Amino acid sequence: MPDAKTAITQNGTVVARSEFLWVNEQYGLVPCAPYDNHFIYESTAPGTSSFMCTCGSVAVVKTHEFKYLLVCLQHATYGVHATGENIWI
């Protein structure tokens, strides 16, 4: 399966994959988890989290070996995306 580069959110907004996203002054520029079938994006839609996964889940900053990583909360918690896919690069 090829890497997803863009996606259309549930509200019809086109979003693009980024390797890193600026979180805030505390975390700075944080790398996004390298999923091949979904990706993390910055959301500006009202009523959503600042960071979302294209599977529909909220994305969160996770600490891993003294580094930060933006991950899909659904995948980090249950091992699968909200769409049921568990593929990793």
Mind listing the pLDDT tens digit for each residue in 73-87?
Answer: 999 999 899 987 655
pLDDT for the residue 3: 66
What is the structure's pLDDT at 43? 93
Residues of the chain with pLDDT under 50: 1-2, 89
What was the pLDDT predicted at 1?
A: 37
Q: Are strands 40-42 and 51-53 parallel, antiparallel or unpaired?
A: antiparallel
Total length of the chain: 89
Q: Residue 71: which of 43, 23, 33, 37 has the closest Cα?
A: 33
For residue 11, the model assigns a pLDDT of 84
Please give the Cα distance from 40 to 57 (Å, whole number).
9
Q: What is the pTM of this model?
A: 0.85
Q: What is the pLDDT of residue 2?
A: 44
As a whole number of angstroms, the distance between CA 32 and CA 53 comes to 10
